[in-house]
Amino acid sequence: MVFIWLAVNVIGSIIFWLDKQRAVKRKRRIAEKTLLLWAFIGAAPAMFAVSRTIRHKTRVRKFQICLPLFSVLQLLAGLVLI
């Protein structure tokens, strides 16, 4: 279970980073729905950390609310499952 959660976090981080790279190069972006879906299914903690590190989506209200909220909920769920 932990390995799946780690894999989801790594994939979510990579997708978030790729969206930032596409934004810089003014190429076609990854949909916000897709980014939020990955955050929802388990990648929120890593995506939140990456967003702060690379300064991506930090001004978008949906991400300001959802990434920290999903992170807390996922970490609490992890504690309950342990």
pLDDT band at 6, cuts 50/70/90?
A: very high
Q: In this structure, what token pair is assigned to residue 51?
A: 């967003």
pLDDT of residue 2: 86
Q: Using one digit for the tens of pLDDT, what is the confidence trace for 8-28?
A: 999 999 999 999 999 999 999
Domain count, the chain: 1
Question: Torsion-angle region of residue 41: left (phi > 0), alpha (psi -120 to 50) or beta?
Answer: alpha
User: Is the whole-model pTM more than 0.85?
Assistant: yes
Distance CA 80, CA 77 (A): 5
Domain residues for the domain of 36 are 2-81
Q: Using one digit for the tens of pLDDT, what is the confidence trace for 36-81?
A: 999 999 999 999 999 999 999 999 999 999 999 999 999 999 999 8
